[in-house]
Amino acid sequence: MSFNAPTTPISTGTFSPLTPTTPPDSSQQPLDAWIRSILPTLALDSSGNVTEESQLAGLIAASVPNNLGYRRGTVRDRVWELLNTGLLERISKTVSAGQWRDRAHVEGAVAEIVSATPFLEHQQLHVKIPVYPEITLPYSLQHALLSPLFAALERLCWTWTRNNTALFELHRDCPEAAELTTWITSLTPMLPALTAHAPALGALRNAVVHRTPVYATTLTQILRATESTSRILGDPALAARIAGLSQTVSRAVREVSSVRISARERVRVQMERIEAEIARLNMCERGEVAEGEKKVLRDLRRSVEGWWKPPREYQGDERMGGEDNEGAMEGAESDDSDLVFHDLECR
């Protein structure tokens, strides 16, 4: 049995994942473990292709169990902190690199990649990597796309009903006599295959009637559902046109996703350079301060040690070591290794 690997993986530059400078908050550990456990399953769609990252973040957030006690927004943000490490790029390269016996085998390989990838702790970085929301089309494009699709499906439902049932019993003499969800509900007893597409068609109805924006992931589901519905209702020509439209939209979404990935990669490279420069400047600052302090303290030592000299008769005291002691004193004055300001708060 062969497993169909993706033929067009997302291509990006090489990237070495950043390691957090401090351990993550322990309160996030149950959530992190759950995300790592479910991600390998959701990272691949039914065809074995790598799921688009914004769709993956939404799917994981929608699947969080209530007993974890996290809101969907919190889960989505945490997922992005894992995806922003370039995780899907590495998964895509691994999945497309060879043939797999079955889905369980490839999911095992994905799980190894996920377990080895640290979460990106944004709060530890001076420069934040952008976290993008899920992709949505401008409403003008969404309306131009979905409104004709909505009307075409209503007409197709009306046509099928006219050819297969007594319309006068339903009092529906035109496609506009009932909205799409009502048509689907009426036809489902006769066409049970429509049941699987009811949720996506309901999303289409809400988007057109209530003027609500839809995510690109939902838009893709709507287009797939309308294509299948058109075939079920006996209009392969309409289904083929919708399939072409679906490919165009999916390609645009992939391009937007690729632009975002490239932007994150550029920010990531610049961030690493900035972090290295900050570390270098901190070291230079410490060295410059230390040298400045020593110069001040040398001058202070000369002033303090010269303000009073013992009477001459005490300078030759044998208990002080005589001339040998003077030599030792001179040697001590030349040693400035102890000339350091002490911070009392550090004691």
pLDDT at residue 275 in the model: 82
Question: How far from chain centre, in Å, is Cα 173?
Answer: 50
The pLDDT of residue 5 is above 70? no
Q: What's the rounded Cα separation, in Å, for the pair 9 and 49?
A: 8
pLDDT at residue 87 in the model: 85
pLDDT at residue 132 in the model: 57
Residues recorded for the chain: 347
pLDDT at residue 24 in the model: 42
Per-residue pLDDT averaged across 249-273, rounded? 82
The pLDDT of residue 20 is above 50? no
Q: What percent of the chain has pLDDT over 70?
A: 74
Query: What are the structure tokens assigned to 125, written together?
Result: 């970085």
Percent helix, strand and coil across the chain, each to the nearest 5: 70, 0, 30
Per-residue pLDDT averaged across 299-328, rounded? 62
The better pLDDT of the pair 254, 219 is held by: 219
The better pLDDT of the pair 126, 86 is held by: 86
The pLDDT of residue 329 is above 60? no
pLDDT at residue 235 in the model: 93
* Single-letter amino acid, residue 108: G
- Contact at 8 Å (CB) between 59 and 93? no
- The mean of the pLDDT values for the chain is 76
The pLDDT of residue 4 is above 50? no
pTM: 0.48
Burial of 188 (0-12, 13-18, 19+ CB in 10 A): middle
Question: How far from chain centre, in Å, is Cα 161?
Answer: 46
The pLDDT of residue 22 is above 80? no
Cα angle at 118 between 113 and 120, to 5 degrees?
Answer: 130
Nearest to 134, CA basis, from 16, 257, 265, 31: 257
Nearest to 39, CA basis, from 16, 18, 63: 63
